[in-house]
Amino acid sequence: MCGGIRFRIRGELPPIQICYCSQCRKAQGAAFASNVPVQSCNFELVGGQDLMKAYEATPGKRRWFCGCCGSPIYSERDSLPGVLRVRIGTVDEPIQARPAFHAHVESKCSWWELPDDGLPRYPQWPEP
């Protein structure tokens, strides 16, 4: 949001993943998180390295954010080496990628109605 962190993603963006788990909701301050899984070799931080801060609420999972404005940038897990889950809201438009599925719908917040968009809905995270 402050413009201090700048990054570039090489290649086409994969489909967007929508997650309704309580941790994603709390980390985003919203009804869901919208992310794209990007290979770390395709992600380049081009500015603001000194502003990047991490928080590890879950052992082995770090959420990276801007230390100036607090904007969430991406998360990474030890169990998924080489993959960053980039917060799609931080990517400049236009974006060609579209949502692929809704995950953790059994733990969605009570005040949000899932859209009738025809996308798959998974009670937990979908198996690969």
List of E strands, the chain: 6-9, 16-19, 33-39, 43-47, 52-58, 61-66, 72-77, 83-87, 99-103
Domain boundaries, the chain: 6-107
> Could you read off the pLDDT of 79-91 as tens digits, one per residue?
999 999 999 999 9
Residues whose CB is less than 8 angstroms from the CB of residue 49 and which lie 6 or more positions away in sequence, other chains included: none
**In the chain, pLDDT over 70 holds for what percent of residues?**
99
**How confident is residue 127, by pLDDT bands cut at 50, 70 and 90?**
confident
| DSSP secondary structure letter of residue 79 | T
- CATH topology for 6-107 is glutathione-dependent formaldehyde- activating enzyme (gfa) (3.90.1590)
Under the banding of pLDDT at 50, 70 and 90, the label for residue 114 is: very high
Mean pLDDT, residues 8-23 taken together:
96
Which has the closest alpha carbon to 89: 1, 27, 26? 1
At 50, give phi and psi (nearest 5°).
Answer: -70, -15
- Tell me the pLDDT band of 42, cut-offs 50, 70 and 90: very high
In this structure, are residues 4 and 66 in contact, taking their beta carbons and an 8 Å threshold? yes
Both tokens of 72, joined, read 């969430």
For 2-24, what is the mean pLDDT?
Answer: 96
- pLDDT band at 55, cuts 50/70/90? very high
pLDDT of residue 83: 98
pLDDT computed for residue 66 by the predictor: 98
Residue pair 56/62 in contact (Cβ under 8 Å)? The answer is yes
pTM score of the predicted model: 0.93
